[in-house]
Amino acid sequence: MKIDASKQGFIAKHKDKKFKTNRGFINWLNRLAKYRIIFIDKGQDCMEWAIDEHGEVLHSYMQSSVWNGMMVDLEWLKIGKNIGVMNVEKQCTQFYNFIIKKIELIKNKPYVTVVKRH
């Protein structure tokens, strides 16, 4: 899957975003998440990221405080390859041992669905 990286920058815009309610967070994530990145399970805690159109990690189901706000280098985003994250200080890409299993474009569907309990 080819993703346009032409508008990508090194600055995270959503890292410190706070929400009053879980529903507020879900609505925000559904609005901004453009890609679901799923990693091959190699024993790491982090298995999936939601990223926006610029590559910012909006949500990680595990270790959100570590990964949220990181900037994925979209030019290196390919299935079967390690995830590349931009290092702001060095202006380069660092690669982590998280191998990309799937890149899912989120189009006209919510990233998170809420099931109402009766």
Query: Is residue 115 domain-resident?
Result: no
8 domain-assigned = no
Does a structural domain hold residue 43?
A: yes
Which range of residues forms the domain containing residue 44? 35-105
> Can you give the pLDDT at residue 66?
86
Q: Where are the beta strands (DSSP E) in the chain?
A: 35-39, 48-51, 57-60, 82-87, 92-105
Name the domain count of the chain.
1
Nearest partner of 25 among 103, 107, 111, judged by Cα: 111
- Over residues 42-57, the pLDDT tens digits come to 888 889 999 999 899 9
Distance CA 35, CA 105 (A): 5
In this prediction the pTM is 0.81
Q: Rounded to 5 degrees, what angle do the CA atoms 100, 33, 27 make?
A: 140
Q: With bands split at pLDDT 50, 70 and 90, how would you rate the model's confidence at 3?
A: very low
- Give me the mean pLDDT over the 99-117 stretch: 76
In a domain, 40, yes or no: yes
Q: What is the pLDDT of residues 67-85, one digit of tens each?
A: 888 899 888 899 999 999 9
Q: Do the beta carbons of residue 57 and residue 49 sit within 8 Å?
A: yes
